[in-house]
Amino acid sequence: MQMNESEARGLIVEIGRLMYERSYVVSSDGNVSIRLDENRILATPTMTSKGRMTVDSLALTDLDGKPLSDTKASSELAMHILIYKMRPDIKAVCHAHPPHGTAFAVAGLAIDKPILSEVILTLGCVPLTEYGTPSTDELTEAMKPFVPHHNALLMANHGAVAYGRDLWEAFDRLETLEHTARIAILSRALGGANDLPPEAIEKLIHIRERAGYLSESARCQSCGYLHETGITCELEGTRTPNGTKISFTREELIELLNQVASRS
């Protein structure tokens, strides 16, 4: 559904306030944008608290980031543009530094353990991309391999970005990322998290694909389990321990999971 510009302005201000109130950002951290149409992006302005924006303070650019308004867009807009160009289905992006998710990014950890059924259904795993200086090509280059397969990413020593078909979906994904990171940290404090068993993961993946929550390209949520087998799920296909890249069909993946399950 196409959103008109004035609705989009109101929604960005509302989401900015929510991000600030929930401590996903402080000071002038973070940025939010909506792709209005094929040629225009509405984005949060540079050096402004997301908790105190007004509908008139937002910046308008084209799809290459060229300004279409006097207000200057966030310096991190390149990250949003990369996502819009690689994912035609994505209409909104939320970037923030939520404390628990960012703690994972600072500790060098992805959020990829299959510990929560709802998260497997709605978000999938959240990979960690290599550190890149904010607002440079380094950052976008590091993100590139992951954007087609995931709806949220952690950026090493920086923060998180989530995206969706509209701004509420992008925000919800950011919220799920932060909530999952928090639960993971708390469960570690209680002695450790138990992963869901492989049969449960397979069922959840089946449900989410049938319901259309996530497509087959997001199947990496099971990688937390596959790691234990010495096989890591990576991008299109999968790498064996000696680095040879192979791909699995759905049936082959189920068969593999069953074999591993019967071995343990």
Strand-strand pairing, 232-234 and 59-61 = unpaired
Q: Which is nearer to Zn ion, 159 or 198 (CB)?
A: 159
Identity of the amino acid at 84:
Y
In whole angstroms, give the CA distance from residue 19 to residue 94.
9
Strand-strand pairing, 237-239 and 245-246 = antiparallel
Considering the complex, what minimum distance in angstroms separates the CB of residue 161 from Zn ion? 8
Q: Which is nearer to Zn ion, 159 or 224 (CB)?
A: 159
Size of the site for Zn ion (CB under 5 A): 1
Question: Residues 146 to 185: which contact Zn ion by CB under 5 A?
Answer: 159
Q: Which is nearer to Zn ion, 170 or 257 (CB)?
A: 170
Q: Which is nearer to Zn ion, 132 or 159 (CB)?
A: 159
Contact 153, 147 (CB under 8 A): yes
Q: Catalytic residue at 76?
A: yes
Select the residue whose beta carbon is closest to Zn ion and give its number: 159
Q: Give the residue from 142, 113, 128, 138 showing the smallest Cα distance to 227.
A: 113
Please pick, among 14, 21, 76, 175, the residue that the annotation labels catalytic. Answer: 76
Considering the complex, what minimum distance in angstroms separates the CB of residue 43 from Zn ion? 13
Q: Give the residue from 169, 255, 171 showing the smallest Cα distance to 214.
A: 169
Considering the complex, what minimum distance in angstroms separates the CB of residue 96 from Zn ion? 7
Considering the complex, what minimum distance in angstroms separates the CB of residue 157 from Zn ion? 11
Considering the complex, what minimum distance in angstroms separates the CB of residue 30 from Zn ion? 6
Known catalytic residues are 76
Instruction: State the residues that interact with Zn ion by CB under 5 A.
Output: 159
